[in-house]
Amino acid sequence: MSEHWHEETAAGPAPGRLPDPARSRSSTPIDVLYADDNAEFASLVDSTLGADETFDVVTVGSVGAALEHLDDADCVVSNLDGSTPDGDDLLATVRERYPSLPFVLFTVQSLRDVPATTFDGLWTDYLEKNGLRSLELLGQRLRRLVAHQAATTAAQRGLAAAQATQEGIAIVDPDGAVEFANRVYATRLGYDPGEIEGRPWQDCYTDTEADRIATSVLPTVADDWRWTGECVARRKDGDSVAVQARIVRLEDESLVIVHDGDAEQA
């Protein structure tokens, strides 16, 4: 079998860096829906968080009023007990309409007094209401939750795009295991989707090629450059195929490997 070493380039810096969600929305205030039947404390929250350009705060005093503003909220903070006359519970309704909308239960209740089922799912949090210090913590919590939600949404969109493309795409974690491989990448190498995930990336290449990539290619992309060239991949059945590849290293030391075009028998 011949080696395929031609047409290699180290072109960079690597384009398409993943955006920092918190930074990308820094010019857009976070819309906070604050629901509390304690009007005095609600006013304090409004004046404290509202003084920070990061936040636009809408305060309401009932579940019904909160539901009227729900569609415009980036996150919800609630110290409301009970429900509307129609039986609408705020948290339950939020989860029904927007399963991933950040929701903070901000209450004088001790955490041990809050039903454990309240925190089913990723996007519901708790903070004890305890003076001005708790308002500072609330602002920090909201920034983190909204940034996390934005990052998760961006990642989901990215994965959907990766599945839709005609290119084979694999993401390798910093430890060298394939974290994600789209359908095109997997099927070109004879695997079912998901079957490659968890394997060392070296399993996708001949032994000689894996050594070459490790010793010659990865040092090239270590400094935020991308590598383009022809590689000899290994199919599940052991046959080898020549693929045109692009490799980029991300900030967290993970790799994005792209196989362009149809694989050809080597």
Asked if the domains at 21-160 and 165-265 fall in one CATH topology, the answer is: no
pLDDT in tens, the chain (266 residues): 333 333 445 444 444 433 333 334 446 899 999 999 888 888 888 888 888 888 999 999 998 899 999 999 999 998 876 544 444 588 888 888 998 899 998 876 666 665 555 566 668 888 888 777 888 899 999 998 888 888 777 776 776 766 667 889 998 988 999 988 999 999 999 999 889 999 999 999 999 999 999 999 999 888 667 899 999 999 999 999 999 999 998 877 889 999 986 545 43
List, as one string, the DSSP characters of 200-264: BGGGGB-HHHHHHIIIIIHHHHTTS-EEEEEEEEE-TTS-EEEEEEEEEE-TTS-EEEEEEEEEE
CATH of domain 21-160: 3.40.50.2300
Residues 23 and 161: their CA atoms lie apart, in Å, by: 22
Q: Looking at residue 106, what is its pLDDT?
A: 87
Q: Where are the domains of the chain?
A: 21-160, 165-265
Going by the DSSP 8-state scheme, the letter that residue 8 receives in this structure is: -
The model scores a pTM over 0.75: no
Tell me the residue length of the chain: 266
165-265: CATH, from 3.30.450.20, 3.20.20.80, 3.40.50.11750, 3.20.20.140? 3.30.450.20
Residues contacting residue 53 through CB under 8 Å, at least 6 positions apart: 29
Q: Which one, of 105, 102, 87, 96, lies nearest residue 35 by Cα?
A: 105
Q: Looking at residue 113, what is its pLDDT?
A: 61
Residues 69 and 212: their CA atoms lie apart, in Å, by: 58
Q: Looking at residue 234, what is its pLDDT?
A: 95
